[in-house]
Amino acid sequence: MKARLINIREIARLIFLEGFRRHTILGLAVLAIATEASGFLFMDFFGRDLGNPVNDFIFSIMWFVGFVFIFFHAVQIMAWDVERGFIFPLLARPVSRTDYVIGVFAGLSALLACLQLLLGILGFLTLIWIKGSVAATFFPELSVAHYLYAFFSLLAYQLLLIAVVMLLSSAIRGSFPVLVLSFAYYGIASGLPVVRSMLGTSDQQHALQYILTLLAALFPNPSTYDLKADVLTVASNLTALEIAAGFGSAFLYMVIALWLACLLYGRRDLS
């Protein structure tokens, strides 16, 4: 067991260092900071409700940068490309494929967490600075607890997506097919609630509603983890049960996706 933990740690370390070697974190951080700085040039166009657009803009940048990291860096790392894939030099070492799956997921998760923590701290300091620079009429409230909850909910969903991409890459060769299917997965997860809300109440549509509800178990709704609207409130409506349910569901999805990925990697021929 100790040897396996060491293997997982070393794989995660290699993946983490690979992200810095490719300048992934630096490039995305510079992109996010430049985008955020340029967006604040338009603050004067907003009236009294200044907090809402600034808060939405900060979380939108974190959301966008996280997706760029997942779809254009993590996919390249996890894909079975013979020329560019990272799996072959790692599995040339005496490690199991289960160790590989967990190690790669841990390394990419650490990279994403570092990136989002940097942007989250910068975003929170920006909100505090803007709130202190304008009158209370323009930016009345800011909840630290809700900000932390919204931030970690966003991070939890993006870690869930990394686990899903790992599952897809365990079954399909090539970075482009994995990228397309990852986009499709996110598109279906985003579109299912819209389709369900548009259905009527007839018996046939009720059956379709039931099917779509079952599909929601495979495609968790991203808006469930989008809680940035609560940041600008001081209402203490957070309960331990709600927090545990939100993070527990994301953790359960990650465990199931990684378990299936380990099974598929154990059965596939990498040659």
Q: At which residue do the structure tokens 């997506």 appear?
A: 161
pLDDT of residue 20: 81
Output the DSSP codes for 11-64.
HHHHHHHHHHHTTHHHHHHHHHHHHHHHHGGGGGG--S--HHHHHHHHHHHHHH
Range with lowest mean pLDDT among 144-153, 196-205, 261-270:
196-205
pLDDT, tens digit, 9 for 90 and up, residues 127-164 = 888 877 776 666 777 888 888 988 999 999 999 999 99
Q: Which amino acid is at 207?
A: A
Q: What does the pLDDT read at residue 146?
A: 86
**pLDDT band, residue 82 (cuts 50/70/90):** very low
85 has pLDDT over 80:
no
pTM of the entire structure? 0.87
Q: What is the DSSP letter of 84?
A: T
pLDDT (average), residues 50-57? 79
Q: What is the pLDDT of residues 218-265, one digit of tens each?
A: 888 888 888 887 787 766 566 777 778 778 888 999 999 999 998 888
The answer on pLDDT for 271 being more than 90 is no
pLDDT band at 42 (very low <50, low <70, confident <90, very high): low
How open is the CA angle 27-32-35, to the nearest 5 degrees?
120
Q: Closest Cα to residue 15, out of 95, 83, 101?
A: 101
| CB contact at 8 A, 64 and 71 | no
Choose among 258, 252, 267: nearest CA to 102: 258
